Structure 1
Amino acid sequence: MTGAETAPDLKRGQTRNLALATAAFAISFWAWNMIGPLGVRYTEAMGLTSAQKSLLVATPVLVGSLGRIVAGALTDRFGGRVMFTVLMLASAPFVLLVALAGDRDSYGLMLLFGFFLGIAGTTFAVGIPFVNAWYEADRRGFATGVFGAGMGGTALSSFFTPRFVEWFGYNATHVIIAAALVAVAFLVWTTMEDSPAWSPNTDRVVPKLAAALKLPVTWQMSFLYAVAFGGFVAFSTYLPTYLKDVYDFDLTQAGTRTAGFAIAAVIARPIGGVLSDRIGPRAVAATAFAGAAAMAIVVSLQPAPELAAGLSFVAMAAFLGLGTGGVFAWVAARAPKDRVGSVAGIVGAAGGLGGFFPPLVMGATYDEADHSYTTGLLLLCVTAVLALLFTLFGIRRDPREKERGSPASPAPRSARRRDN
C-alpha cells in the first residue's frame, strides 16, 4: 500500500486516536504514581527508615519498567486498543488494594500491592507503537512527543492525590482513581481504533524480543532513555520526600511543587519531539543532557526557596522533558516498522529502570546532619555528561537523520513510503 493511499485514512483518525492514547496514558500514570505523593504519610504512619521509604516509592517503577518489554511486544500482535483496555482494567484492583494496605499500615502489603500497581506504568510501551502507526514518518516526532505528554499523569497525581485525600478521604481517593481507570478503559474500547497502516505481527514473543535486542538502536536508545526518562521518574516520585527533607515543606506543599516540576517536563516533551522533526533528535538529546548536567550542579547547591529553587527545578524538568521527546523521536526514526513495539518496550523498560535506582541512591546517600542530597545529585551530573558524550560521539549517523534534521532537504517521497 502506497503512502498516497494510506494518507487520507490516517488523517481521518489521527487526532482522535492520539488524544485517546494520551488520555489513557495520563490516567495510567496517575495510578502508577499513587504511592509517591503520599510517601510522607506512609513514612510517618509506619515509622519507615530512609531506605524503606525509598524502596516503597520505587517498587511500582520496577514492574512498570520491566512490564513494558512484554507490553510492547504484545502491542505488536494485538494492537493498542486491546492492550490499553486490558492494562487499565488490570491496574484498577491494585489501586484499591494499595489503599487497603495503607489503611492497615502494613509495609509488607504496600510493597506487594505496589509491585503489581506497576502494571499501570506499562501503557507507555503500548502508546508509542500505536501512535507511531497513525502518523507519517516526518511527523512521528510530533506524535510521540504529544503522546509522551501523558506522563503529566504524574503531575496530576502529585498535585491532586494529597488534596483528594484532604477533600474526600484516603479510601475514597483510591476508589475515584480506580473508577477513572475503568471509565477510560471503556472509552478506549468503544471509540479507539488501530491505524489502518498497522498489521499484527504474529511472530512469537520471545524470538521477537530477541531480534529487537540484536538491534543497535535498542541498546543505544535504552541508555539515553534511562538517563532522560529515568531522571524524570526519579524526581517525580522522590521529589516530595526531597522537598520535605531539604526545605521542610509539608505533604501538600511538596506535592504542589512536584506537580510544577512534572508539568514543566510534560510541556517540554512534545517540544522535544517537534524540534527533533526539524533539527534532528541528536541535537535535541545533546542539548537536554548538557542542560540536565548543569542543573544537577545548581540544585546540589540548595538554592533558596521559593524563586531560585523553583526555577532551578523547572529548568531541570524542562531539559529532561526535551530529552525524553528527543530520544523517542530517535526511536521512531530508526526502529524497523514491524519492531517498533518491541523496541519501544525495551527502551521504555530501560527508562523506567533508570527511574527505579536513583531514589534508592538518594536514600542511601542522604546526609541527614546537613539535610543534603549533594552526592546523589553529583552522580546525576556525571551520568548526564556520559549520556551527552555518547549522544555526540557514540551513535553513528543515519542518512535519514540528516534528511529529517534539515528542513531544506526533505526526504524524497519514495523514501517516506519505505519509512512508513
Structure 2
Amino acid sequence: MSSPKINLLSFSGNVRILHLSWVAFFISFVVWFNHAPLLASIRDTFQLTDGQVKALLTLNVALTIPVRIFVGMLVDKFGPRRMYSALLAICGGLCFFFALANSYEQLAMARLLLGCVGAGFVIGIRLISEWFPAKQVGFAEGIYGGWGNFGSAAASLSLPVIALAFGGADAWRWAVAVTGVIAIVYAGLFYLGASDTPKGSTYFKPKKLGAMEVTSKGDFWLYVFLQVPMTAALLVLTWKLSPAGFKLIDQNTAYAVYAALLALFTWNIWQIVDVNRNILAGEVVPQIHRYKFKQVAILSAAYAIAFGSEIAVVSMLPLYFKDMYGLTLVQAGLVGSSFAIMNLIARPAGGLISDRFGRKRTMSIVMVGITFGYFGMSFMGQWPLWAAVAVTVVNSFFVQAGCGAVYGIIPLIKRRLTGQIAGMSGAYGNVGSVVFLTVLSFVTPATFFLVIAASALVVLVIVQLLDEPSGQMAEIMPDGTVQMIDVA
C-alpha cells in the first residue's frame, strides 16, 4: 500500500512540522555562515592575514564535531522541540558576541562557539523521522536538509546587501546582529508551534543517556574505532591553531587542548563500555532487536564526503571567486552561492530517488557524480566565469543529493537511536570539512578539489558494503509490548 503524497502547500499535520523544521534549520545555517559573504569586510576591519582568515573558516566547523554527538544524545532523551528552541536561542545570542568583537581573539572565539549551531541538523532529522513513514522519510528529510541548507546561499545573497543598507565600516557587524535577532525570535515560535510526535504516538528513548547502544561485539569495536578519526580531526585542528600553524594560540594552550581532547576521547570510550557492558559480558541480543552498526559507519563515511566537502567549499568559494575573477563583494556572494543554491532541489531529489529506486543504488550513483564533479572543478581557474559556475552547479547537485540519500537511510536503522546515529554521521560530515579545509590551507584550490574527488572514489567502494533497508525494526513500548515499524 503506497503512502499519500506530501502536499507541500499544506500547513497542517506532518507537513506543518516539516515546514517548522526546515525553517529552523535554514536559520541555523544563516547563523552558521553569516561570516562567509562578509569575510572581505571582516578582513579589512581587523587587517587579517590569509592564515587568520583560514583559521576562522576552520574554527567555524570545529566544535560541531563533538557537539553533534552530544546533541544527538540529548535529542533522543529530551525531544526535538526543546532542543531546537534552546540551540537557536543560545546561538542567536552568540551572533552578538561575534558582531561586537574588537579583537581577532574575540572574533575567533565567537566563531568557534557559533559552530555549535550546526548541530541543529541532528535535531530535525529525529523530528522528521517521528512524523513521516518509511516510504516518505527520504523525501521529507531531503526537503528538511535541502531547504534548510539553502540558508548558506541565502546568507551569501542577502547579508552583503543588508550590510550595504547599513553602510559604513561597521556594516558587517549590523548584518551579523540581524541574524542573531532572527534566530532568537524563531526559537520562541518553534517552541510554541512544534511537537515531538503526532498525537497518541510514543517517543522512544534510549535505555541510558550516554553512548549509543550496539547489539554485537563486532559492532562494539567498530564503534570504538569510529571515535579515533573524530579525535584526530580535532587534534589536527589544534595543531593548525598552535605556533606551528596559524599561531592563534600559544604552545601551552595547545598542550592543554591536546590533553583535554585525549581526556574527552577516554571519556567517550568509557561511555561506550558503560552503556554496552551487557554485550561485552556475552549477552546475545534477540534477533528482533538487532541492528547493523556497519550501516552507521558507511553512512558516516559517505556524509564526510558529501556534507564535509559542501561545508569546506561553501566556506571558501565566495572569496575564491572574488580573488580569481576580480569580482565585487556582492558579485562574489552571488556567484559563490551557486554551490549551495542546488540544495533547494537536489537534497529532496536525493531523498525521493532513494525512496523510489533503492537506497544503496542511489548512494552509488551520487558518489560517482561527486568524484567526477570535483575532478571538473579542479580546472575552474583555467575557464571563463560562466563555465566555472556551470561545473560548480552540476557538481553541487550530486553533493546535495548525496546528503539527501544518506539521511534517507539513517531514520531506518534504529528509531530510538535516530538522534545519536544522525549525530555520529553529522559529526563525520564535519570531520570531512575539517580535513578538507586543512588540506586547503596547504595546497592550491585545484589540488583541494582533486583531493575531494579521490576521497569520493574511495567511499564509492565502501558504499558497496551497505545493506538495503528491508522489513521492520522493533521498539519496546512503555508497557513492555513490542511495536514493529516498517523500514521499506
Q: Normalising by structure 2, what TM-score?
A: 0.75
Conserved 8 A contact 1:55-1:360: no
Deviates more, 1:270-279 or 1:167-176: 167-176
In the other structure, the counterpart of 1:376 is 448
Give the direction of change, closer, same or farther, for the CA distance of 1:357–1:41 in structure 2 (3 Å limit): farther
Deviates more, 1:66-75 or 1:204-213: 204-213
In the other structure, the counterpart of 1:60 is 60
In the other structure, the counterpart of 2:439 is 361
Output the CA distance in 1 between the equivalents of 2:461 and 2:67.
29
Output the CA distance in 1 between the equivalents of 2:304 and 2:156.
22
The structure with more radius of gyration: 2
Q: CA deviation at 1:243?
A: 1.3
Q: How does 1:289-308 map to 2 (within 5 A)?
A: 289-302=367-380, 303-308=382-387
Q: Which runs of 5+ in 2 are unaligned?
A: 4-10, 225-292, 473-482
Q: How does 1:229-308 map to 2 (within 5 A)?
A: 229-302=307-380, 303-308=382-387
Q: CA deviation at 1:270?
A: 0.6
In the other structure, the counterpart of 1:122 is 119
In the other structure, the counterpart of 1:69 is 69
In the other structure, the counterpart of 1:37 is 37
Partner residue of 1:206 out of 203, 210, 225: 210
In the other structure, the counterpart of 2:107 is 110
Q: CA deviation at 1:397?
A: 4.5
Output the CA distance in 2 between the equivalents of 1:198 and 1:238.
43
In the other structure, the counterpart of 2:423 is 345
Q: CA deviation at 1:400?
A: 4.9
Q: CA deviation at 1:186?
A: 1.1
Conserved 8 A contact 1:76-1:341: yes
Give the direction of change, closer, same or farther, for the CA distance of 1:306–1:44 in structure 2 (3 Å limit): same
Tell me the SS of whatever aligns to 2:316.
helix
Output the CA distance in 2 between the equivalents of 1:400 and 1:311.
41
In the other structure, the counterpart of 2:264 is none
Conserved 8 A contact 1:73-1:209: no
Conserved 8 A contact 1:78-1:200: no
Partner residue of 2:156 out of 147, 158, 162: 158
Deviates more, 1:221-230 or 1:346-355: 346-355
Conserved 8 A contact 2:30-2:154: yes
Q: CA deviation at 1:221?
A: 0.9
Q: How does 1:325-340 map to 2 (within 5 A)?
A: 325-333=404-412, 335-340=413-418
Give the direction of change, closer, same or farther, for the CA distance of 1:331–1:40 in structure 2 (3 Å limit): same
Tell me the SS of whatever aligns to 1:86.
helix
Output the CA distance in 2 between the equivalents of 1:400 and 1:383.
32
Tell me the SS of whatever aligns to 1:260.
coil
Output the CA distance in 2 between the equivalents of 1:209 and 1:58.
31
Matched to 1:289, the amino acid is M
1:320 correspondence with 2:399: yes
1:87 correspondence with 2:158: no
Deviates more, 1:190-199 or 1:320-329: 190-199
Q: How does 1:12-31 map to 2 (within 5 A)?
A: 13-31=13-31
Output the CA distance in 2 between the equivalents of 1:383 and 1:157.
28
Tell me the SS of whatever aligns to 1:261.
coil
1:324-381 per-position Cα deviation (integer Å, ceiling 9, x unaligned): 0011112123x21111111001111111221223223112113xxxxxx221111111
Backbone CA RMSD of aligned residues? 2.4
Q: CA deviation at 1:416?
A: 7.3
Conserved 8 A contact 1:58-1:360: yes
Partner residue of 2:138 out of 137, 141, 149: 141
Partner residue of 2:298 out of 211, 220, 229: 220
Q: CA deviation at 1:209?
A: 6.5
Output the CA distance in 2 between the equivalents of 1:170 and 1:307.
28
Deviates more, 1:127-136 or 1:287-296: 287-296
Q: Which runs of 5+ in 1 are unaligned?
A: 5-10, 367-372, 402-414
Conserved 8 A contact 1:18-1:143: yes
Deviates more, 1:173-182 or 1:207-216: 207-216
In the other structure, the counterpart of 2:129 is 132
Q: CA deviation at 1:419?
A: 4.0
Deviates more, 1:292-301 or 1:116-125: 292-301
Tell me the SS of whatever aligns to 2:156.
helix
Q: CA deviation at 1:238?
A: 1.2
Give the direction of change, closer, same or farther, for the CA distance of 1:356–1:251 in structure 2 (3 Å limit): farther
1:130-189 per-position Cα deviation (integer Å, ceiling 9, x unaligned): 101101111110111111020111111111111111112333222221111111111111
Matched to 2:42, the amino acid is Y
Matched to 2:165, the amino acid is W
Deviates more, 1:275-284 or 1:82-91: 275-284
Q: CA deviation at 1:308?
A: 0.9
- Percent of aligned pairs sharing the same letter: 28
1:262-319 per-position Cα deviation (integer Å, ceiling 9, x unaligned): 1113320011000000111222222212112112222211252332111110011111
Give the direction of change, closer, same or farther, for the CA distance of 1:391–1:210 in structure 2 (3 Å limit): closer
Output the CA distance in 1 between the equivalents of 2:466 and 2:179.
42
Output the CA distance in 1 between the equivalents of 2:421 and 2:97.
32
Give the direction of change, closer, same or farther, for the CA distance of 1:36–1:209 in structure 2 (3 Å limit): farther
Output the CA distance in 2 between the equivalents of 1:199 and 1:180.
29
Tell me the SS of whatever aligns to 2:377.
helix
